[in-house]
Amino acid sequence: MSEASTLIPAKDKNPTAGALQPGVWRRLRANRAVFIGGGIFVFIALLCLLGPFFFQTSYQDTNLDLGATPPSATHWFGTDDLGRDLFIRTLYGGRISMAVGFAATAVSLVIGLGYGLLAGYAGGRTDAFMMRAVDVLYALPFLVIVILLTVVLGRSVLLLFLAIGLVEWLTMARIVRGQVRALKQQTFVDAALACGAWHGRIIVRHILPNTLAPVIVYTTLTIPSVILLESVLSFLGLGVQPPMSSWGVLINEGAEKLDVYPWMLIFPAIFFSATLLTLNFIGDGLRDVLDPRD
Amino acid sequence: MLGFISRRLLQAIPTLFVIATLTFFLIRLAPGGPFDGEVEIPDEVRERIEAHYGLDRPIIVQYFSYLGNALRGNLGPSTLQVGWDVHELIAQGFPVSLELGLWAMVVAFAIGIPVGILAAVYRHRSYAHWLMGFAMIGVCLPSFVFGPLLLLVFSSYLGFFNPLGWEHASDRVLPALTLGMFFAAYIARLARSGMLEVLQQDYIRTARAKGLSERIIIIRHATRTALYPVVAFLGPAFAGVISGSFVVESIFFIPGLGTFFVNAALNRDYTLVLGTVLFYAVLILSLNLLADLIQAWLQPKTRDV
């Protein structure tokens, strides 16, 4: 969220700097932060996605005779006080957290990109009005609105990402709009117009590709902040509901029992923090490679 | 300057209007109502209660009467906490949240600025990397992980602090650390990059050429300019501390405004939700304005924008 302020483009000397330049792959391969971060992230993601298929137990199988046990050979991360296997619950939680993260980012990407393209390309009064609206929304207390939205939409995982996506698109809209405004004054846009291209085609074929780099960078940085937001909501009891698990739910359950069963907090916390850390590394690395402004 | 302030105040009007409208209709759209408790209420009683709070009138009438009252500073009675007015509840919860927020900001600045500046000045030494590595951890270890971990170590194992409550002075330490750490890390990153940029400026070279000691150059000449990005972060930081306090208050069971708001939203306490949201909005708008004024005062270039 707060990362955004540093990303808003200033007056741009080279407006096509937003396009993907040749040699990006080479520079990306040379960037160790992206590669190590990406590797660890892919490992965690695959583990969460495929891991549960290899185990008989489900995230909600309870075993009250067993109760809470510390990590052992049969239960790698231990069990919680209802005897549920924490390793499985952590993996399932990862699925939910990441699914919400990606879906909410997609929602915010679609809204922000569309809004920014429209405002930037229309220019004039439309642009002024649309950006004023963004300013107004920007001043809203974010978490407060998300909490209200989750209350309205009910506690369904499906709608959770909608609630988050609906508040996360503002910065994307600002970034895209700034890029489009600079691009619109370029001669290749005039040339396309002179050739009789209609506006939709100019936006899609000529302007959109030139905004890709900052959009990719900001999207990568949005994913961790959305995962964080989901976990905050679940932690407060407003997001995913038990017995379903998400990292926020698990950390909340662990935090309640930390003095008796500390493993219930520690393992989900490690997975969660590692995911956030690697995603931020990827985002920062991509910015170094793709966004020549900095 | 006056023009700047009055323009900002004028801009605040549509913002507050949108917030009030959005919140009013959102909370009404939410399934369930304030009186859907565990106990079944007979229909006649429910009608009486709803009539008492004016909830039986058409929603548009309720909306305009709420706006009218809010304009006059009357936020109405709480729909759930019988006998309490919304403004009384805010007056009870806010000072707690404010104190927590202020301590968190003290932590953030007291840790963030020295760490950032040291990491920039001694960037060639190995411990600079450790300093910034610590800052990265602060960004990626959110408060609801960091808080319980602090509790685990300092309260459960070492027994230095009470695990919950807001009674003694020592009860402030862990919550303030939890809430402040993220901002400390972010401020450290800002201060470091600001300092690195300043150290390459010509006037620093001039100061060195004059034979000033490195310490004086850093403290007198470089720090002030290096901290501009930190000051620009003040506005977002204030807003972040406010929303962050929801989580921290929930971890440490602190009876602040955040706890009130979350409970009110969960239990559909219509008037308390609306009142708190409006209060937060006014607070954030004024803090943003304040942050901009501080920035304009420090950095004359932005004054005429």
Angle in degrees, CA B213, B216, B218, rounded to 5: 110
Report yes or no on B296 lying in a domain. yes
The pLDDT, as a whole number, for residue B61 is: 79
Report yes or no on B251 lying in a domain. yes
B151 CB neighbours in chain A (<8 A) are 255, 258-259
Q: Please state which of the ranges A30-44, A216-230, A234-248, B155-169 shows the lowest mean pLDDT.
A: B155-169
Task: Give me the residue from B14, B142, B273 closest to A228, CB to CB.
Answer: B142
Judged by CB atoms closer than 8 Å, whether chains meet at A5 and B148 is answered as no
Report yes or no on A6 lying in a domain. no
Using CA coordinates, name the residue in chain B closest to A274: B140
Distance from the A197 Cα atom to the nearest Cα atom in chain B, whole angstroms? 38
A239 CB neighbours in chain B (<8 A) are none
The number of domains in chain B is 1
Judged by CB atoms closer than 8 Å, whether chains meet at B140 and A276 is answered as yes
**pLDDT over 90, % of chain A:** 1
Q: Could you give the residue ranges of the DSSP H alpha helices within chain A?
A: 24-30, 32-50, 86-122, 124-138, 142-153, 157-168, 170-184, 187-194, 199-201, 212-235, 247-256, 263-290
Judged by CB atoms closer than 8 Å, whether chains meet at B19 and A140 is answered as yes
What does pLDDT average to over chain B? 79
φ/ψ of residue A79, rounded to 5 = -130, 160
A254 CB neighbours in chain B (<8 A) are 148
Give me the mean pLDDT over the B226-230 stretch. 79
Domain that holds residue B182: 86-304
> CB burial class (10 A; 0-12, 13-18, 19+) of residue A271?
buried
Report yes or no on B188 lying in a domain. yes
Angle in degrees, CA A272, A273, A278, rounded to 5: 105
Judged by CB atoms closer than 8 Å, whether chains meet at B156 and A252 is answered as no
B136-170 tens-digit pLDDT: 777 777 788 888 888 878 877 777 777 777 777 77
Q: What type of residue sits at position B30?
A: A
A163 CB neighbours in chain B (<8 A) are none
The pLDDT, as a whole number, for residue A12 is: 45
Distance from the B15 Cα atom to the nearest Cα atom in chain A, whole angstroms? 5
B256-282 tens-digit pLDDT: 888 888 888 777 778 888 888 888 888
CA distances from B75 to A108, A125, B33, B85, B272 (A): 34, 36, 19, 8, 8
Judged by CB atoms closer than 8 Å, whether chains meet at A232 and B142 is answered as yes
- Tell me chain A's radius of gyration from C-alpha atoms: 22
Concatenated DSSP letters of A19-57: S--TTHHHHHHH-HHHHHHHHHHHHHHHHHHHGGGG-S-
Task: Give me the residue from B11, B140, B144 closest to A235, CB to CB.
Answer: B144
The number of domains in chain A is 1
**pLDDT over 90, % of chain B:** 0
φ/ψ of residue A292, rounded to 5 = -70, -5
Report yes or no on B131 lying in a domain. yes
Report yes or no on B57 lying in a domain. no
Judged by CB atoms closer than 8 Å, whether chains meet at B15 and A136 is answered as yes
CA B199 – CA B217 distance, rounded (Å)? 9
Give me the mean pLDDT over the A278-294 stretch. 72
Q: Is it the case that residue B239 has pLDDT exceeding 50?
A: yes
> What residues form DSSP beta bridges with B85?
B77
CATH number reported for the structural domain that contains residue A244 in this entry:
1.10.3720.10
The pLDDT, as a whole number, for residue A160 is: 78
- Chain B interface, mutation test: which of A7, A140, A168, most B Cβ atoms within 10 Å? A140
Q: Which residue carries 């895209």 as its tokens?
A: A176
Report yes or no on A217 lying in a domain. yes
B11 CB neighbours in chain A (<8 A) are 135
Domain that holds residue A131: 16-290
Distance from the A203 Cα atom to the nearest Cα atom in chain B, whole angstroms? 31
Distance from the A261 Cα atom to the nearest Cα atom in chain B, whole angstroms? 10
Distance from the A275 Cα atom to the nearest Cα atom in chain B, whole angstroms? 9
Q: Could you give the residue ranges of the DSSP H alpha helices within chain B?
A: 2-29, 43-52, 59-71, 86-121, 126-140, 143-150, 173-198, 202-209, 214-216, 223-226, 228-232, 234-252, 257-266, 270-298
Report yes or no on A10 lying in a domain. no
Distance from the B280 Cα atom to the nearest Cα atom in chain A, whole angstroms? 7
Report yes or no on B2 lying in a domain. no
Residues 6+ apart with CB under 8 A from B199: B120, B121, B222
Q: What is the pTM of this model?
A: 0.76
Report yes or no on A3 lying in a domain. no
CATH number reported for the structural domain that contains residue B133 in this entry:
1.10.3720.10
CA distances from B298 to A2, B220, B237, B286 (A): 22, 14, 18, 18
- pLDDT-based confidence at residue A64 (cuts at 50, 70, 90): low
**A269's tokens:** 């916390």
Report yes or no on B20 lying in a domain. no
Residues 6+ apart with CB under 8 A from A143: A229, A232, B243, B246
Give me the mean pLDDT over the A51-78 stretch. 69
Q: Is it the case that residue B2 has pLDDT exceeding 50?
A: yes
Report yes or no on B30 lying in a domain. no
Ramachandran area for residue A221 (φ above 0: left; ψ -120 to 50: alpha; else beta): alpha
